[in-house]
Amino acid sequence: MAVTKLSGDGKQHGYVQCTVVSGTTKSTVADLEGYSDVGLMMPVTSSGTTLTFEVSNLYSGDYYPLVSTANATATVSGGAGEVAFTSLYGAGFPYRYVKVVTSYTPTAATVFTFVVKA
């Protein structure tokens, strides 16, 4: 999966998208190679939706829940409208492969956009 580069001020900005297919709760894989500053744009979802994340060092490898050093699951919550998060989880994001996991099962494909900066 390639990063779509954004034009403009010459900095390495871009985005990577992944999709939660209708009837499932886990997204396709987002490949965030080479980017440590990662934000997330959450599309319109069900009210009260919570997102969690699974990460891996291999595309087809085992995916693990993303948790804090206190072993708390990393979650983000949104309302019924579109929202954006300034940082996916803390300062820097060292994981290459990421899946978004939703707390609900969508009836239509839902696309999530990771905004990335080198």
The structural domains of the chain, with segments of one domain joined by +, span 31-117
Domain 31-117 grouped into CATH 2.60.40 = yes
**Cβ(56)–Cβ(64) below 8 Å:** yes
pLDDT at 35 over 60: yes
pLDDT at 114 over 90: no
pLDDT at 81 over 80: no
Q: Average of pLDDT values for 81-96?
A: 67
Residue of 3, 2, 100 lying closest to 43 (CA atoms) = 100
Give the 3-state secondary structure percentages of the chain, helix then strand then coil, rounded to 5. Answer: 0, 45, 55
| Residue written as token pair 């087809």 | 60
Give the largest Cα separation in the chain, rounded. Answer: 40
Predicted local confidence at residue 98, as pLDDT:
93
What percent of the chain is modeled with pLDDT above 90?
A: 28
Lowest mean pLDDT, pick from 5-9, 33-37, 39-43, 46-50: 5-9
Task: Provide the token pair at 88.
Answer: 């996916």
pLDDT at 99 over 60: yes
CA distance 55 to 14: 20
Confidence of residue 65 (pLDDT cuts 50, 70, 90): very high
- pTM: predicted TM-score of the whole model, two decimal places: 0.80
